[in-house]
Amino acid sequence: MNAAFVTLVTNEDYALGALALARSLRLSNPRHRLVVMTTRTDVDLDSLQKAGCEIRPVEAIPVSDEFARRHARSALHAAAPYTKGTKPKFHSPLDNFCKLRLWEYEEFDRVVFLDADTVVVRNIEKLFRYPEFAAAPNLYETLNDMHRLNSGVFVAEPSRRTFDSMMASLDVPGKFWRRTDQTFLESFFPDWHGLPYVFNALQYIYFHLPDLWRWESIRVIHYQYEKPWEENHPRTQQLQPLIDLWHTILDGKPIPAKLDPLTITR
């Protein structure tokens, strides 16, 4: 099976995120490559290349002016405010839709997409054996989160047909995807397969649902909302151990053995 990890980078901030992700994958999942999709040629991605990533330029998804206006940062934040956490200034909602481009990568039988604000602390190769479309729940506050998916980690089967079909239903008159690609994917794959939440442990679980934060079973940490490289963000104190771990990985140090005694030596 031809399989790859894929992430997306459209600016310098997410390039830094992707670097930590790349370094974590090299330690935890050395057998598979990481493809970095990017819309930018003016952002320095040398360190990502040095970390073993394959850089692939992609075009932004072609959308109508109305669609772009509705999903611009200020319009989206006004129409569907974020009440549970803050989004960094460098987050442009419209850019999220570029993830869909991975369905064009037909040379891969399976792709595991990972947001650039994730780190992989254990082996996750088994995800390549899951069918399309598989994602973990958007679990970070209450049980009520369980019926929604989070699009920061998902399993896809690239197919240009699927991509074309997505393009036909994405930008239809008046359509507003309040959580961008996430809302779209949930609607496009209504019978999505559920992954265990440990394959996409959202950082807010750490303080909202501490009983579920089991270091020994967590495989992917996803820094949703505030990013670990934002200095003194509003959740810094609540998330300090997770932020420290992210910096350890970015610095190229090994994933602490205490966290994962089994996989690191593989």
Binding site for ligand UDP (CB under 6 A): 7-11, 14, 91-92, 95-96, 115-117, 152, 224-225
Contacts (CB under 5 A) with Mn ion, residues 139-168: 152
Q: Report, in Å, the least distance between residue 35 CB and ligand UDP.
A: 12
Q: Report, in Å, the least distance between residue 30 CB and Mn ion.
A: 23
CB nearer ligand UDP, residue 17 or residue 158: 17
Q: Report, in Å, the least distance between residue 132 CB and ligand UDP.
A: 19
Q: Report, in Å, the least distance between residue 129 CB and ligand UDP.
A: 24
CB nearer ligand UDP, residue 37 or residue 255: 37
**Which residues are CB-contacts of 17 (< 8 A; sequence separation ≥ 6)?**
9, 115, 116, 117, 223, 227, 229
CB nearer ligand UDP, residue 11 or residue 159: 11
Q: Which of ligand UDP, Mn ion, none does residue 8 bind (CB under 5 to 8 Å by kind)?
A: ligand UDP
CB nearer Mn ion, residue 67 or residue 113: 113
CB nearer Mn ion, residue 18 or residue 61: 18
115 belongs to the binding site for Mn ion (CB under 5 A): yes
Task: Give the integer Cα–Cα distance in Å for 175 and 97.
Answer: 14
Would you tell me the crossing angle of helices 12-28 and 236-250 to the nearest 10 degrees? 70
CB nearer ligand UDP, residue 108 or residue 140: 140
Q: Report, in Å, the least distance between residue 265 CB and ligand UDP.
A: 29
Q: Which of Mn ion, ligand UDP, none does residue 171 bind (CB under 5 to 8 Å by kind)?
A: none
Query: What is the biggest distance separating any 2 CA atoms in the chain, rounded to whole angstroms?
Result: 52
Is residue 181 within 8 A of residue 151, CB to CB? The reply is yes
Task: Give the integer Cα–Cα distance in Å for 262 and 259.
Answer: 9
Please report which helix (H) or strand (E) contains residue 250, including its range. Answer: helix 236-250
Task: Give the integer Cα–Cα distance in Å for 38 and 22.
Answer: 15
Q: Which of ligand UDP, Mn ion, none does residue 203 bind (CB under 5 to 8 Å by kind)?
A: none
Is residue 185 within 8 A of residue 149, CB to CB? The reply is yes
Burial of 68 (0-12, 13-18, 19+ CB in 10 A): middle
Contacts (CB under 5 A) with Mn ion, residues 175-194: none
Task: Give the integer Cα–Cα distance in Å for 96 and 80.
Answer: 16
Q: Can you give the binding site for Mn ion, defined by CB under 5 A? A: 115, 117, 152
